[in-house]
Chain A
Amino acid sequence: MRKMILPTLLLAFAAFSANAETIQERTVTCFACHGEHGTSETENTPSLGGQQAPYALIQLFMFREKLRTFEPMNEMAKSLTDDDLRIFSDFIATLPKPVPSAEAGDPARMARGQALVQQNRCNTCHNTDFSGKENVPRIANQREDYLAKTLGEYKDNSRHGYDGTMADVMQPIAKEQISDLAYYIAHTR
């Protein structure tokens, strides 16, 4: 499936890049998966709205340098210049924040998730409202599946963070706790 979509997207992307169009035009390809108004409706694909620009820049850089591996994004970022990376990350930060969850969440799971968040001091870096700061991402109202996937990847170190902080943080957190953590962060309004 991905293999079929990718060449088309890349073609579109190359065509867009060739001309001096606006950032809005250049980001059409991004929106195809990440959602047009900052909220992703694609499985395992993060919402980008309101993301911290320095964090977005680091991720785009890592995709370009293949320090973070995800083939479609590695392809997308391959030909971007340093300035392109900055333009895209600054633009991402201006997109509307992801839409909060419509449902309040199951009280028992929310309670377990909140206890974990407090116990592990997630607010130390991500802030109490999960808005993040600088190189630390906004995780507020992020997609639950993407959060769970990412936390799992940090735990087994299959996703290498820019520095090792999340691998360090996830070490004492049990695998079984990840789903409650992701559920709580995604549902906190």
Chain B
Amino acid sequence: MIRYSSAPRSLMLAGALFVAFTLHAAAQQPATPPAAGAAQPLPPGSPMIGRPDNEAAAKLAPVVGPPIPASPDKLPLAKLKVPAGFNVEVYAAGMANARSLALGDKGTVFVGSRLVDKVYAIVNKDGKRSVKVIASGLYRPNGVAFKDGTLYIAELSQVSKIDKIEDVLDSPPKPTVIYDKLPKDEAHGWKFIAIGPDNKLYVPVGQPGNNVLHDDAHGQIRRMNLDGSGAEVYALGVRNSVGFDWNPDNKQMYFTDNGRDWLSESVPEDELNRVTKAGEDFGAPYCWQGNIIDQELGWGKNCKDYTAPVGLMGPHTASLGMRFYTGSQFPKSYKNVIFVARHGSWNKSQKQGGDVVAVRLNKDGTVKSVEPFMTGFLEDNKYVGRPVDVMLLKDGSLLVSDDWNGAVYRISYGKPKVANQ
């Protein structure tokens, strides 16, 4: 039974509790302010829950990049490192807050954004690339997916589509909404989307806050038909997934999930999960990384009742977009490797992530190793760029989006060749 409510019960409850608290506090009318350091407990649902009252923690805040995309000559290309034999080039620039990537049949690369209102197309025509804005005035259009000529766009609380998009790039019509039974929360409301091997559209709904009890319309991944009908919950206990793909060998879905903030500097780690059957519960907000019971919300819960991640991706690293490598350009050792873009931490004194890692799987589908693949976005504990998504081109090269600089890079193997597809 799925209930799609846009007014989460837990939050209404929190509000009610809070009003009660306020009246109580007002009745007491403290004559002197409470001493510094003796702060009261946070209200339920606050994104700061768990944050200790000390100087080191007070220095940490979400990191936001510059709003204006970097000009091509200011991109940190020279700082980006890839393994020997690989090359990095700028594929396209000038796309403010470039986020998720999708590939059209005719070679157009679609790029979503989260902090601005636009979806971009990197158009390949007569061997030349150019960037067009194909949709604007959207609200946090982070997610893009493409299938059979149609572009799907996921905004904060609705999914829409543009048919035959590659035929109308010069004057695209406004997107048509296909699904809007989604909550409107800002927290974890932006969406990554993708279309699975079952030809269904997968749409995540994150938890509406850092660490909150929520109703049954949140903390999940849904799937639906490509016209928005037949929506069902596919995975539960998902805090905030911003990337997924399917194992080409057995069609199992793998997804990244971001662990909660403020538990500690070193845990919980972000998760790489595998769905083996519809309806599996991955534990959030009760159990983190398969073996940590949440200090506030986990009482009475047991991690054994939830599906454990197949791999851990580092604490607070913000593991986002991921794709299995199914191309033939990279060396054979990269066959079916998962490339994961780690956006990089904010909730850590020494930042971690801000790279693309190569994840190798064991035969049983669990993680064998996580190795750095593209690094250099993090310099002196500051970001010079932040990777968001990865995507294969038809020639087997790999694109990486960078929302800090509003750019997309292309990684190729062997003698440097300029992209042409």
A: residues with CB less than 8 A from B are: 54, 57-58, 61-62, 65, 67, 82, 85-86, 107-108, 110-112, 114-115, 118-121, 123-125, 127-128, 133-136, 157, 160-165, 167-169, 171-174, 176-177
B18 near A61 (CB under 8 angstroms)?
no
Closest Cβ neighbor of A117 among chain B residues: B39
Cβ B43 vs Cβ A172 within 8 A: yes
Name the one of B45, B48, B186 contacting A167, with C-beta atoms under 8 angstroms: B186
Interface residues of B in 15-66 (CB under 8 A from A): 15, 18-19, 22, 25-26, 29-34, 36, 39-48, 51, 53, 57-58, 60-64, 66
User: Is there contact, CB below 8 Å, between A165 and B34?
Assistant: no
Which B residues between 292 and 329 are near A, CB-CB below 8 angstroms? none
Given A157-B186, A171-B209, A176-B22, A118 and B34 contact (CB-CB distance below 8 Å): yes
CB pair A174 B68 closer than 8 Å: no
Cβ of B47 and Cβ of A168 under 8 Å apart?
yes
B25 touches A112 (CB 8 A): yes
State the CA gap A169–B187 with chains docked (Å). Answer: 9
Considering the chains assembled together, what is the distance between the CA atoms of A86 and B40 in angstroms?
A: 40
Closest to A115 in B: B34
Assess whether B11 is interfacial by the CB under 8 Å rule.
Answer: yes
Cβ–Cβ contact B48 & A121, under 8 A: yes
B67 within 8 A of A: yes
In the complex, A164 Cα to B209 Cα: how many Å?
10
**Closest chain A residue to B11 by CB distance?**
A171
- Chain B residues near A162: list those with CB within 8 A: 64, 67, 115
- A residues within 8 A CB of B237? none
Are B66 and A169 touching (Cβ within 8 A)? Answer: no
Number of residues from B at the complex interface, CB < 8 A: 49
On whether the beta carbons of A119 and B42 are closer than 8 Å, the reply is yes
Tell whether, in the assembled complex, residue A135 and residue B33 are in contact, meaning their CB atoms are under 8 Å apart: no
27 contacts between A and B (CB under 8 A): A57-B66, A57-B68, A86-B68, A111-B34, A112-B26, A115-B40, A121-B39, A121-B46, A121-B58, A124-B60, A127-B58, A133-B61, A135-B63, A157-B184, A161-B186, A163-B62, A163-B64, A163-B114, A165-B62, A168-B186, A168-B209, A168-B210, A169-B46, A172-B46, A174-B22, A176-B19, A177-B22
When the two chains form their complex, are residues A61 and B67 in contact, meaning their CB atoms are under 8 A apart?
Answer: yes
Partner of B18, one of A67, A111, A161, A172: A172
Minimum C-beta distance from B108 to chain A (A): 24
Q: Which residue of B lies closest to A65 (CB)?
A: B116
Pick the most buried of A167, A173, A174: most chain B CB atoms within 10 A of its CB.
A174
Q: Quick one: CB contact mask for B235-263 with A, threshold 8 Å, 1 for yes?
A: 00000000000000000000000000000
B361 within 8 A of A: no
The 4 closest A-B pairs by CB, nearest first: A164-B186, A172-B43, A167-B186, A61-B67
Interface assignment of B285: CB less than 8 Å from any CB of chain A: no
Q: B215 contacts the other chain (Cβ, under 8 Å)?
A: no
- Supply 7 further A-B pairs (C-beta < 8 A) apart from A115-B40, A124-B57: A107-B31, A112-B25, A118-B39, A124-B58, A160-B139, A162-B67, A172-B14
Asked if B61 and A136 sit within 8 Å, CB to CB, the answer is: yes
- Tell me whether A121 and B31 are in contact in the complex, defined as CB-CB below 8 angstroms, given that A65-B116, A128-B58 are known contacts: no
Q: What CA separation (Å) do A62 and B403 show in the bound complex?
A: 16
CA distance A124 to B53 in the complex (A): 9
Question: In the complex, are the beta carbons of A67 and B117 less than 8 A apart?
Answer: yes
CB pair A120–B42 under 8 Å, yes or no, is yes
Residue of A65, A108, A135 near B117 (CB, 8 A) is: A65
Q: B344 within 8 Å of A by Cβ?
A: no
B68 smallest CB distance to A (angstroms): 5
Q: Cβ of B115 and Cβ of A163 under 8 Å apart? A: yes
Which of B34, B45, B186, B209 lies at the interface centre, i.e. has the most chain A CB atoms within 10 A of its CB?
A: B186
